[in-house]
C-alpha cells in the first residue's frame, strides 16, 4: 500500500511546505520507499512488544522549582524577523 | 421526544509553580512583554527541556485527591501545529500515556451524591499570548508576548458523566476548590488560571449511543459555563427536532449575545501528528513518591463540608459556604471552638464577614466575642455590626471597643424595670388607652424607654417587661 499523492500534499500542507507537481511526485516515491523499508517489521509478530519511544529508559531528570532569569531579552528578540517594541511582530491572525 | 444531554468537561489548570515547566523562567503574571523568556521556552535550536519536579508533584497530589491511578510510566509527546504564540511549532503535552487515569469526584446536589468520573490527568505547557494591537480594520500584524509560553498546565478530563448544566457547574466548582485546597492552582477563572472547555451532545432519553458532539470554548466564569451549556443543549435539541443533524465542530460562547457560534478557521489543522518527544525521557513515578505525597493531602472540601455540618450541627448549605475557602473554614472552627454558643450564629457571622476574614483582617475572637455578647444580651445586633466594623478598621480587641464606645446594652432586669416604671408613671393617658385595647401603643412605650436609655436597652427584654407591667 503506497502513499497517495493526496496524502503527500496533505502532510506537506500541515508542514507548511509548498511542493511543485514534480516535487510531490518525487516525495511520493521517496516516502513510499521509506515506508516499504519500515514495513519489513510486519514480518515479525510485534503484538506483545511495547513501542520504544526512547532508546534509553532511565527516566527523565528533574530540575528544582527555582527561578533563574535568562536576563537577555534582547538576545531573544533579535532572532526574530520582525518586532515592535518588546513584542514579536507576527502576521495578523484573524480570531473571532 | 424527551432528550438528555451528555457532557464532558476538560479543565486546564495553571500550576502554581514559581518557574516554568521545562526552564527556569518565572511564571509571574503581568511582567513586561517577553521579560520571562529564554532560549528553551522560545524554541531556539539546540536547547533541551528539563522537567520541573514541583509540577509533577502537583499533578500527583491532584491525582491522589481525585482517586486517580498514577501511572508509573508516562510519556511526553509533541502536539504539532503552527501558530504564532507557539514558537517551537509544537506543544509538549502527554498523549497516549498520561500521568494519571481513572479517578472521580463526588458532587452533592439536593441531598444526593453523584460520582463524576475522571478519565485522565496530564501535564503540558501553555502557549504564549497574542496581542491584537491596532485591532482597527486592516491591521496586518499581531504582537506576540511569549511570557506565558511553557507555564505548566495540568489538563483534567472528565468522563461524559455530566447530564445537566447545574451538574457541570457543581463539578467545576468542586474541582476548583480541591485544587485550591491542595494549593496547586490559584483557581482564578477570570484571569485564566482555571479554564474549561466542554464536549456536549444530546440523545433521546433511554438511548445508549452518544449523539454527535460539539466542543464549546471561551467560557471564562462558572456562570458562563452553565449558561453556555444550557444554550448549546437547547440549540442541539432544536436542530434535531427541526429534522436536522448536529455537526461535529468547535463553537465559541459569546457571553454578550448569550449564544454559541461556530469557530471559524483553525479547523483544517486538527491533525496534530502526536509523537513521543525525543528530548524528554519517559516520566517514571514510583509508588513510594506517590505514598509520600499522599500524606500531604489536606482534608478536602467534600470531607470538610460533611464534618462541619455534623460536628457543629449547622445547615449543610452553611458548611458549603464556609468550606469555599480553607482559611474561612479554619476561622469558623476557631471562632466556634472559642465559644460554646450557637455555632449557627457564628457561621452566619463568618459568612457575612467572609471578605475581611479571607483578607486576614480579623481574628476568630472578634466573632466569638460578639456572638457571645449577643447571646448574653450584653450587646445588640446593631452594636455587634458596628463593633466588628470598628475591630476590622482599628485592629483593637472587640470588647475593648465595646467598653470604650459604651455599646453595651441594658439587659439587667432590675435596671430595666425601674426605667419601665418611670415611663409608665409619666404617661398615664397612654397607659389607659393601651389597657383599653390600643395595643399598638406598645411601640410608643418602647420608644420612650429607648429615649430614656439613649438606645441602650435590650429591645427584646424591654418588650417583655413592658407587656408584663402593662398587662
B179 Cα distance to chain centroid: 10
Q: A23 lies in which domain range?
A: 1-45
With an 8 Å Cβ cutoff, are A68 and B24 in contact?
Answer: yes
pLDDT band at A25 (very low <50, low <70, confident <90, very high): very high
User: Cell match 393617658: residue?
Assistant: B429
pLDDT digits 0-9 by tens, B86-111: 999 999 999 999 999 999 999 987 77
- Total domains in chain A come to 1
- Total domains in chain B come to 3
Would residue A39 count as lying in a domain? Answer: yes
Verify that B315 and B260 share a domain, yes or no: no
Pairing outcome for strands B69-70 and B214-219? unpaired
> What element of type H or E holds A89?
strand A87-91
- Chain A contacts in chain B segment 80-119 (CB below 8 A): 80, 82-84
Would residue A17 count as lying in a domain? Answer: yes
Verify that B385 and B420 share a domain, yes or no: no
Q: Provide the shortest C-alpha distance from residue B43 to chain A (in Å).
A: 10
- Give the model's pLDDT for residue B419: 81
Verify that B223 and B355 share a domain, yes or no: no
pLDDT digits 0-9 by tens, B326-372: 999 999 988 888 876 789 988 888 898 888 888 888 888 888 888 88
Of B24-28, B135-139, B355-359, the least confident:
B135-139
Verify that B189 and B281 share a domain, yes or no: yes
- Give the model's pLDDT for residue A64: 97
Verify that B463 and B340 share a domain, yes or no: no
Enumerate the residues of chain A whose CB falls inside 8 A of the CB of residue B54.
Answer: 64-65
What is d(CA B94, CA B102) in angstroms, rounded to the nearest whole number?
16
Would residue A73 count as lying in a domain? Answer: no
The beta-carbon neighbor of A65 closest among B19, B269, B283 is B19
Asked if residue A12 has pLDDT above 80, the reply is: yes
Would residue A33 count as lying in a domain? Answer: yes
Mean pLDDT of A44-48: 90
Of A64-78, B7-21, B198-212, B376-390, the least confident:
B376-390
With an 8 Å Cβ cutoff, are B143 and A87 in contact?
Answer: yes
More confident of the two residues B269 and B443: B443
> What element of type H or E holds A87?
strand A87-91
Q: Which of B245, B269, B293 is the last residue of a domain?
A: B293
Verify that B86 and B27 share a domain, yes or no: yes
Verify that B319 and B360 share a domain, yes or no: yes
* Mean per-residue pLDDT over chain B, rounded: 89
Interface test with A, best of B141, B147, B260, B262 (most A CBs within 10 A): B141
Cβ-Cβ pairs closer than 8 A, A with B, add up to: 139
- Chain A contacts in chain B segment 31-60 (CB below 8 A): 32-39, 42, 44, 50-56
Dihedral, CA of residue B352, residue B356, residue B360 and residue B366, to nearest 10: -60
Verify that B260 and B310 share a domain, yes or no: no
Asked if residue B266 has pLDDT above 90, the reply is: no
Q: Which of B272, B293, B314 is the last residue of a domain?
A: B293
Would residue A65 count as lying in a domain? Answer: no
Q: Could you tell me the CATH number of the domain that includes residue B431?
A: 1.10.10.410
With an 8 Å Cβ cutoff, are A88 and B283 in contact?
Answer: no
Q: Could you tell me the CATH number of the domain that includes residue A23?
A: 1.10.20.60
* Mean per-residue pLDDT over chain A, rounded: 89
Verify that B274 and B370 share a domain, yes or no: no
Of A89-93, B65-69, B232-236, the least confident:
A89-93
Verify that B386 and B447 share a domain, yes or no: no
Q: Which of B261, B293, B325 is the last residue of a domain?
A: B293
Q: Provide the shortest C-alpha distance from residue B395 to chain A (in Å).
A: 36
The beta-carbon neighbor of B32 closest among A67, A86, A92 is A86
- Give the model's pLDDT for residue A96: 40
pLDDT band at A95 (very low <50, low <70, confident <90, very high): low
- Give the model's pLDDT for residue B64: 97
Would residue A21 count as lying in a domain? Answer: yes
- Give the model's pLDDT for residue B463: 81
Of B168-177, B221-230, B259-268, the least confident:
B259-268
Name the DSSP letter for residue A12.
Answer: H
Q: Provide the shortest C-alpha distance from residue B104 to chain A (in Å).
A: 28
- Give the model's pLDDT for residue B269: 54
pLDDT band at B135 (very low <50, low <70, confident <90, very high): low
Interface test with A, best of B49, B74, B99, B144 (most A CBs within 10 A): B144
Verify that B232 and B191 share a domain, yes or no: yes
Q: B347 lies in which domain range?
A: 301-405
Amino acid at each position: 500500500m503506497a502513499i497517495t499523492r493526496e496524502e503527500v500534499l496533505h502532510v506537506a500542507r500541515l508542514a507548511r511546505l509548498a511542493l511543485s507537481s514534480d516535487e510531490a511526485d518525487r516525495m511520493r516515491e521517496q516516502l513510499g520507499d521509506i515506508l516499504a523499508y519500515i514495513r519489513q517489521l510486519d514480518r515479525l509478530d510485534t503484538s506483545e512488544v511495547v513501542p520504544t519511544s526512547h532508546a534509553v529508559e532511565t527516566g527523565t531528570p528533574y530540575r528544582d522549582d527555582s527561578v533563574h532569569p535568562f536576563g537577555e531579552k534582547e538576545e531573544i528578540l533579535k532572532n526574530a524577523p520582525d518586532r515592535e517594541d518588546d513584542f514579536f511582530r507576527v502576521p495578523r491572525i484573524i480570531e473571532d | 421526544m424527551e432528550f438528555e444531554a451528555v457532557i464532558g468537561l476538560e479543565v486546564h489548570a495553571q500550576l502554581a509553580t514559581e518557574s516554568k515547566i521545562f526552564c527556569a523562567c518565572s511564571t509571574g503574571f503581568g511582567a513586561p512583554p517577553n521579560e520571562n523568556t529564554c532560549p528553551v521556552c522560545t524554541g531556539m535550536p539546540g536547547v533541551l527541556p528539563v522537567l520541573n519536579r514541583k509540577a509533577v508533584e502537583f499533578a500527583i497530589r491532584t491525582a491522589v485527591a481525585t482517586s486517580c491511578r498514577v501511572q508509573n510510566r508516562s510519556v511526553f509527546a509533541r502536539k504539532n501545529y503552527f501558530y504564532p504564540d507557539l514558537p517551537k511549532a509544537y506543544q509538549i503535552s502527554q498523549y497516549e500515556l498520561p500521568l494519571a487515569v481513572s479517578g472521580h469526584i463526588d458532587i452533592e446536589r439536593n441531598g444526593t451524591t453523584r460520582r463524576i468520573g475522571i478519565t485522565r490527568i496530564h501535564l503540558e505547557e501553555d502557549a504564549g499570548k497574542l496581542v491584537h494591537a491596532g485591532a482597527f480594520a486592516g491591521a496586518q500584524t499581531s504582537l506576540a508576548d511569549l511570557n506565558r509560553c511553557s507555564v505548566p498546565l495540568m489538563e483534567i478530563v472528565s468522563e461524559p458523566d455530566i447530564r445537566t448544566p447545574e451538574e457541570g457547574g457543581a463539578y467545576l466548582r468542586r474541582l476548583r476548590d480541591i485544587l485550591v485546597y491542595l494549593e496547586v492552582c490559584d483557581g482564578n477563572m477570570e484571569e485564566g488560571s482555571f479554564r474549561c472547555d466542554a464536549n456536549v451532545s444530546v440523545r433521546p432519553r433511554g438511548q445508549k449511543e452518544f449523539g454527535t458532539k460539539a466542543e464549546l470554548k471561551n467560557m471564562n466564569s462558572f456562570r458562563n459555563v452553565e449558561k453556555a451549556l444550557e444554550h448549546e443543549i437547547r440549540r442541539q435539541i432544536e436542530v434535531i427536532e427541526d429534522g436536522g443533524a448536529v455537526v461535529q465542530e468547535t463553537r465559541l460562547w459569546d457571553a454578550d449575545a448569550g449564544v454559541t457560534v461556530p469557530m471559524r478557521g483553525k479547523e483544517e489543522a486538527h491533525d496534530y501528528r502526536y509523537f513521543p518527544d525525543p528530548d524528554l525521557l519517559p516520566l517514571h513515578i514510583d509508588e513510594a513518591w506517590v505514598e509520600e505525597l499522599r500524606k500531604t493531602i489536606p482534608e478536602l472540601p467534600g470531607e470538610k463540608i460533611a464534618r462541619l455540618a455534623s460536628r457543629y450541627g449547622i445547615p449543610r448549605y452553611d458548611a458549603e459556604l464556609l468550606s469555599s475557602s480553607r482559611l474561612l473554614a479554619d476561622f469558623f472552627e476557631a471562632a466556634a471552638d472559642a465559644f460554646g454558643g450557637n455555632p449557627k450564629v457564628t457561621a452566619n457571622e463568618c459568612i457575612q464577614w467572609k471578605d475581611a476574614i479571607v483578607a486576614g483582617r480579623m481574628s476568630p475572637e472578634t466573632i466569638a466575642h460578639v456572638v457571645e455578647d449577643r447571646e448574653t444580651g450584653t450587646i445588640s445586633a446593631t452594636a455587634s455590626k458596628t463593633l466588628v466594623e470598628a475591630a476590622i478598621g482599628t485592629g483593637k480587641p472587640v470588647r475593648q471597643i465595646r467598653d470604650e464606645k459604651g455599646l453595651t446594652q441594658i439587659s439587667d432586669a432590675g435596671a430595666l424595670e425601674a426605667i419601665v416604671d418611670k415611663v409608665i408613671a409619666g404617661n398615664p393617658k397612654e397607659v389607659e388607652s393601651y389597657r383599653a385595647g390600643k395595643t399598638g401603643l406598645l411601640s410608643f412605650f418602647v420608644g420612650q424607654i429607648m429615649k430614656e436609655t439613649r438606645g441602650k436597652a435590650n429591645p427584646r427584654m424591654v418588650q417583655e417587661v413592658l407587656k408584663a407591667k402593662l398587662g
